[in-house]
Amino acid sequence: MRGSRVVTSEELAAAAGVSPAQLRKDLSFLGSYGRRGVGYDVAHLERQLGEVLGVQTRRAVVIVGIGYLGHALASYGGFAERGFEVAALVDADPQVVGTTVAGLVVEPADAIGRVVGRTSASVGVIAVPAPHAQPVCDALVGAGVTALLTFAPRALHVPEHVTVRQVDVASELQILAFHDARRRAR
């Protein structure tokens, strides 16, 4: 697909791991219809998906909490190709502040307002211990962040205009264990 001008639903379906019929149906919901016998125009499809997913514009991301998880996230190279730029890193530990991680100097927690203002970040990633997650969330929201991804195992309270997604790997493992146990019991 990379470098191609057109792509068939069969090729896209194979890449996505779904059936061609399902893929055509899903894309049709987004208003994308391929040409019979030709396929989908790649550039057009990319634009259309970008519009629907709201990822056309590059978004700056601030990661708060540069411990094990924050380090791994900051060093992950895969966000840029999805339109997210890790623009700043923040931590409360004086031993961590001032160190360089993935090419960025870690900034102090009391600078969240300035950091968000400088980077125009609309996305905040929270990777601090659970008891600190709400104050960090409040600081990010107060600074203008409207989308939050939190790894802390704690429900966050946010105003209506803010979207929160919580990643809970432990829950995913529990779900996996549940399905595995059921399958073994059969």
Ligand X SMILES: NC(=O)c1ccc[n+]([C@@H]2O[C@H](COP(=O)([O-])OP(=O)(O)OC[C@H]3O[C@@H](n4cnc5c(N)ncnc54)[C@H](O)[C@@H]3O)[C@@H](O)[C@H]2O)c1
Binding region: 65-70
Indicate whether 88 belongs to the interface with ligand X (CB under 6 A). Answer: no
**Given 27, 45, 96, 115, the residue binding ligand X (CB under 6 A):** 96
Residue with smallest beta-carbon separation from ligand X: 67
Judged by CB under 6 A, the number of residues near ligand X is 27
Among 7, 23, 63, 69, binds ligand X (CB under 6 A): 69
Interface region with ligand X, contact rule CB under 6 A, candidates 29-37, 53-61, 78-86, 87-95: 87-95
Q: What is the DSSP letter of 102?
A: T
Per CB under 6 A, 177 contacts ligand X: no
CB 135, min distance to ligand X, A: 6
CB of 93 to ligand X, least distance (A): 3
